[in-house]
Amino acid sequence: MEKQELLNKAKEAIVDADEEKAFSIISEAKKQNVNLLDLLLAGFGAGNQEIGERFDRGSLSLPELIYAAEVMKNVTNTILELLDSDEGSNSPFVTKGTVLLATVAGDVHDIGKGIVASTLRTAGFDVIDLGCEVPVETILEEAKKRNVDIIGTSALLTSTMVEQKKLEKLLAETGEKKNFMTMVGGAPCTPRWAKKIGADGYSEDAVDAVKVAVKLMEEKRMKFDL
């Protein structure tokens, strides 16, 4: 089976909430030495994005979304364990920092952020993952408590993007903006959105998130002469 066919079938498995099919694809990918991160991002991740878009359009019910997301979670946990076993190996990134990640309030999508967390850890970052549906007040409280460098938020629905703007406003109003770099991501997010709300960076996917985090750490060190 060609790699692209595997990616297409992985997407279908999530859209159809077919866990048995998804696990068979993982097995096939391992046999063919297909990059598991590619499988997550371009295969299963594409399916996860599709169900999010369908829910956002109103063509998918909440129970259907949760069921599909649960299948995705089980599949992803398996792959992340395999990725984590190779953590830190052959990583071209040497800049380290502490990143706090959270999916914003009102959004149940947790898989894409989980992939980002694993990729950042592999690149040498310390990652604190608060999970999904996290209020901005909790995000700021945990960021201060943990003394993090970067706050990364994910919004997979257009209706929850406002929470990312809400966080930037809270950081500004409390005078904490100067203490943290911020980055945003998620299917409906764009570089224009990041700039509009005052976020320091935007990442399109997990691999890009590492590059952005490295860049933000460099900017923070220059800013504070660390």
Cα 137 to the center of its chain, rounded Å: 20
Cα three-residue angle 80-84-85, rounded to 5 degrees: 120
Between residues 37 and 167, the one the model is more confident about:
167
Do 3-84 and 98-224 come out as alike in CATH topology?
Answer: no
Half-sphere exposure of 156 (CA within 13 A, CB side): 27
The answer to which of 29-33, 67-71, 159-163, 196-200 has the lowest mean pLDDT is 67-71
User: For position 145, what pLDDT does the model report?
Assistant: 97
Of 204, 201, 191, 144, which is closest to residue 170 (Cα–Cα)? 144
Of 163, 118, 157, 121, which is closest to residue 140 (Cα–Cα)? 163
Spans of all domains in the chain: 3-84, 98-224
User: For position 91, what pLDDT does the model report?
Assistant: 46
The answer to whether the beta carbons of residues 153 and 163 sit under 8 Å apart is yes
Question: Does 206 score more than 90 pLDDT?
Answer: no
Domain 3-84: assigned CATH number: 1.10.1240.10
Domain 98-224 has CATH 3.40.640.10: no
Q: What φ, ψ does residue 59 adopt, rounded to 5°? A: -95, 5
Question: Could you report the per-residue pLDDT of 60-97, keeping only the tens digit for each?
Answer: 888 888 888 788 878 877 887 777 666 544 444 444 89
Phi-psi region of 62 (alpha: psi -120 to 50; beta: other; left: phi over 0): alpha
Residues in contact with 5: Cβ distance below 8 Å, sequence separation at least 6, in sequence order = none
The answer to whether the beta carbons of residues 51 and 15 sit under 8 Å apart is yes
Task: Please list the residues that pair with 151 across neighbouring strands.
Answer: 100, 182
